[in-house]
């Protein structure tokens, strides 16, 4: 998500360079984002010299033992949680400010419509991650550096599970940026079919009445012209 936020900024404002260097910047970074977490957590969970202790009578029985080590757990949290969240926040704030500032120029250059859905899609997903991750990061920092028991029950019972909402909801939010999705759903009566049918029933008679009225007006005008001349 952090890489997507940064790349989306450059894709909107520096599209030519992103397309030109995509085989050096885009694909290798995506590959690293996929391979690195799998490798890191497989190695550290399975090889770190500590013993996992599980409490089977507790609501949350436990986790990887390295997380309870001060140095390793803190480094893992700062690198893999705080840093990506910071990049997401900064990248989207900068994108929002610049997009708003250059909105008029983009309209004149006919690029506003091209990037509008992309912008809405990114902001929607980013807001979802803001709502989920920012409370988790703030509470975790307080527990890490100030009070280890701060909102412990809320964190264990609620906030830790809210993190799964992001991956589950992101595909549905991404549909906002796909052209033709709503038209396809409407065409197959998957969105408000009752309203669509009623609209067709109302539009049909109205169009027929309008057509008959125009025909009657043309006939009266023709008859008037014949009597006049």
Mean pLDDT of 90-113: 70
**Same structural domain for residues 167 and 218?**
no
Mean pLDDT of 108-117: 64
Confidence grade of residue 216 (pLDDT, cut at 50, 70, 90): low
Secondary structure (DSSP) of 154-166: HIIIIIHHHTTHH
Residue 159 lies in a domain: yes
Confidence of residue 39 (pLDDT cuts 50, 70, 90): very high
pLDDT at 144: 78
Mean pLDDT over residues 69-94, rounded?
83
Higher pLDDT, 117 or 206: 117
44-77 confidence digits (pLDDT tens): 888 888 887 777 776 667 778 888 888 888 888 8
Residue 107 has pLDDT above 70, yes or no: no
Classify residue 184: in a domain, yes or no: no
Q: Is 111 found in the same domain as 221?
A: no
pLDDT of residue 27: 82
Q: What is the mean pLDDT of residues 175-201?
A: 57
174 and 228 in a single domain? The answer is: no
Cα separation of 66 and 53, whole Å?
11
Assess if residue 157 is contained within a domain: yes
Mean pLDDT of 74-84: 86
Q: Is residue 39 part of a domain?
A: yes
Average confidence (pLDDT) over 163-191:
70
* Whole-angstrom distance, CA of residue 210 vs CA of residue 180: 31
**133 lies in the same domain as 224:** no
| Counted domains in the chain | 2
Most confident of the ranges 101-110, 143-152, 176-185, 193-202? 143-152
For residues 164 and 154, give the distance between their C-alpha atoms in angstroms, rounded to a whole number: 16
229 CB burial (10 A radius; 0-12, 13-18, 19+): exposed
- Looking at the structure, do residues 75 and 16 belong to the same domain, yes or no? yes
Specify the higher pLDDT residue, 106 or 194: 106
25 or 178, which is more confident?
25
Inside any domain, residue 86: yes
Q: Is residue 69 part of a domain?
A: yes
Same domain (yes/no): 222, 123 = no
Mean pLDDT of the residues in the chain: 73
- Residue 110 pLDDT: 59
**pLDDT over 70 at 161, yes or no:** yes
156 and 204 belong to one structural domain = no
Check if the beta carbon of residue 94 is closer than 8 Å to that of residue 9: yes
Q: Give residue 221's domain range.
A: 191-229
Task: Report the run of H or E that residue 193 belongs to, with start and end.
Answer: helix 193-228
């Amino acid at each position: 998500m952090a890489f997507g936020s940064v790349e989306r900024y450059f894709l909107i404002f520096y599209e030519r360079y992103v397309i030109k260097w995509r085989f050096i910047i885009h694909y290798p970074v995506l590959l690293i984002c996929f391979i690195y977490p799998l490798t890191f957590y497989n190695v550290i969970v399975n090889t770190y010299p500590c013993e996992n202790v599980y409490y089977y009578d507790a609501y949350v029985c436990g986790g990887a033992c390295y997380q309870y080590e001060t140095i390793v757990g803190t480094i893992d949290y700062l690198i893999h949680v705080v840093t990506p969240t910071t990049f997401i926040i900064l990248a989207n704030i900068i994108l929002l400010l610049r997009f708003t500032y250059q909105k008029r120029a983009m309209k004149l250059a006919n690029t506003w419509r091209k990037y509008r859905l992309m912008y809405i899609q990114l902001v929607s997903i980013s807001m979802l991650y803001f709502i989920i991750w920012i409370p988790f990061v703030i509470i975790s920092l307080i527990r890490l550096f100030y009070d280890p028991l701060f909102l412990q029950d809320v964190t264990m019972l609620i906030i830790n599970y809210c993190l799964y909402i992001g991956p589950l909801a992101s595909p549905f939010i991404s549909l906002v940026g796909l052209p033709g999705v709503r038209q396809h759903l409407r065409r197959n009566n998957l969105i408000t079919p009752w309203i669509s049918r009623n609209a067709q029933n109302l539009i049909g008679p109205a169009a027929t009445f309008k057509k008959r009225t125009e025909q009657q007006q043309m006939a009266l005008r023709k008859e008037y012209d014949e009597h006049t001349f």
